[in-house]
Each structure stands twice: as structure tokens, then as C-alpha cells.
Amino acid sequence: MFSTLLSAVLAAVVLAARANAEYHTIRFYNACGFGTPTLLANGEVLSTGEDYTSDGPFSSGIAYLQNGDQCGYNGEKCTLMEMTMVNPTCVGCGSSADISLIDPHSFSYATSFAYFNGCANEGANCAEAGCAAAFYYSDETQVQVACQAENAGLLIAFCADATELDANNLPGASGSSGAASSSSVPAPAPSSSSTPAPSPSTTSTYVAPTSSVESTLSSSATSSSAAASSSAKCPARNARRALRLKRSAEPEPFAFPPAHRHGLRATH
């Protein structure tokens, strides 16, 4: 019974120690669509894009975006991230991070950082050459960003502003590396709808219906044509017929009443 109790106590101590153990996660987000995020400490490459979690304090780390062999092993010729991640044991002695463009480093790609899981979104962004957020001389300590939270993590972003990102919900994240996906969006799969596809339409010639007006006009045209043909054959007879029709159409002369006629004569 004593041994069982001792085992339980030891297990509780181990769990408590693990719960209180210091750790810090370095996470990358590459929105450039090229290059390899690289994290080093003590001359050793610790990550090429995937999350890195330290077991205890993480001191004197550097990071940069390697594109081919553009950057030196320690980030020469490129924008450099510098960081020390540690739980504070006194006021002002917690984590610290900065961006360095001190020679032999120089601006290469937009680089930013922000803390998460403590001091959320506090950081800096160097989006272009000559940015005010970077070191150019070693005495410009005002560009360092500190965090006094325990077990704080650090998000490092390329071609994006880490201070505006949610490190635990990165846009277009792919796996644990937090790299933005550069693959194209696949075309949607064909729909499985049961509605049959429309069959090809049969080409047919449309014949407009003949209206009564068209029939009348056609008949009139036919009659006129026939009359013209008849006139051409018998011009003299048709001329006399036309004259009779004209005379019959003329109005009869107005006949004055007898009394009125007499009055006209008397005047003359």
C-alpha cells in the first residue's frame, strides 16, 4: 500500500513539473510563395518552416527567408530576425525580439513578427528597405520588442504583417509550418444532380403563319396584276371603260329651283 501511495505522489510531481515546464514555440508564416523559412540557434538549423518548440528558454535564435543561396548561413545579405524567448524572472528580463539590417545584413523580403499565447500581436513589421522597425546600428535598442508573459510563442511572417495575424488560425495555413499554400484552387467536381442534361435541340425551319392581312394583300396584288395584264391586252376597251367610270363618278350639276332661276334671269 505504501508503494502504491508513493507511486501516485511521484506521478503527481512529474505531471506538475511538466505543467510548469517552460517552453516557447517559434512559428513561421510564409506568404511570399517562394523561399524557405530558416531558424538557427548556436549554429544549428532547428527548423525549415515547421513549428519549433523549445524545452526551456530559447536563447540567441536567428531566422530569415532563404531563397536559393541568396542568404549566408547566418542570414548575411538578408533581413534577419533575432530572438531570445525566456520566462521573466525579474522586471524587464523576459522575451525579446527584433529585426536587424545591420551590415552585413540587408533588406531582402518583408519580414515581421508578433508574440502569441501572451503579449498577443505585439511585434514589428519591416515591409520595405529603410523601414523604421529595424536595427541599422547596434545602439538602436528602441526597436526591440519585449514580452513579459510566460511561455510566450513567436510568429515570424514573410511578405505579411504578423501583428495582424492570428497565430493559431493562419490564413491558407498548410500543416504545422503555417506556410501559405501556393497551390491553385482546384476546379469544382461535376455535380451529381439527378436532373438529366438537356438533349441537343433539333434544328427545324420555322414557317410563319400567313395572316388574313397578308392573304388580302396577296389577293389584291394578284388582282392588280391580273388587271394590269388585261389592260395591256385591250388598251382601247379599257380606256373607254375608265372614261365611263370617271363620268359616272362625277357629281350631277346642281339644279336651282325654278323660282331661283327666274330671279337670275330678271337680274340680267
Cβ 113 vs Cβ 144: under 8 Å: no
Residue 251 lies in a domain: no
Decide if 247 is inside a domain: no
Within-domain flag for 183: no
188-212: pLDDT as tens digits = 343 444 444 444 444 444 444 444 4
Q: Is the pLDDT of residue 65 over 50?
A: yes
Is 160 inside a domain boundary?
yes
- DSSP assignment, residue 168? T
Give pLDDT, residue 236. Answer: 43
Is the pLDDT at 71 greater than 70? The verdict is yes
- What's the pLDDT score for residue 137? 97
66-83 burial string, b = 16+ CB within 10 Å, else e? Answer: beeeebeeebebbbbbbb
Domain presence at residue 185: no
Kindly report which listed range (7-16, 103-112, 133-142) carries the lowest average pLDDT score.
7-16
Which whole number is the average pLDDT over 247-263? 44
Instruction: Tell me the mean pLDDT in the region 3-21.
Output: 55
Q: How far apart are CA 86 and CA 83, in angstroms?
A: 10
Q: Per the structure, how many domains does the chain have?
A: 1
Quick check: is 106 in a domain?
Answer: yes
Alpha carbon of residue 27 to chain centroid: 26
Asked if residue 230 has pLDDT above 90, the reply is no
Please indicate, yes or no, if residue 159 is contained in any of the structural domains. yes
- The whole-number pLDDT of residue 92 equals 83
User: What is the structure's pLDDT at 114?
Assistant: 98
Q: Is 79's pLDDT higher than 60?
A: yes
Q: pTM for this one?
A: 0.61
Mean pLDDT value across residues 52-59: 98
Does the pLDDT of residue 77 top 80, yes or no? Answer: yes
Is it the case that residue 213 has pLDDT exceeding 80?
no
Q: What is the pLDDT of residues 143-184, one digit of tens each?
A: 999 999 999 999 999 999 999 999 999 998 544 445 553 333
Quickly state the pLDDT bin for 224 (edges 50, 70, 90).
Answer: very low
Is it the case that residue 130 has pLDDT exceeding 60? yes
Residue 225 belongs to a domain: no
pLDDT of amino acid 172: 82
Q: Which domain holds residue 92?
A: 24-164
- So what's the pLDDT on residue 208? 44
> Helix 235-249 vs helix 212-233: angle between axes, to the nearest 10 degrees?
120
Percent pLDDT > 70 in the chain is 57
Predicted pLDDT of residue 109? 98
pLDDT of residue 10: 56
CATH of residue 29's domain is 2.60.110.10
Least reliable range by pLDDT among 1-10, 63-72, 127-136, 210-219: 210-219
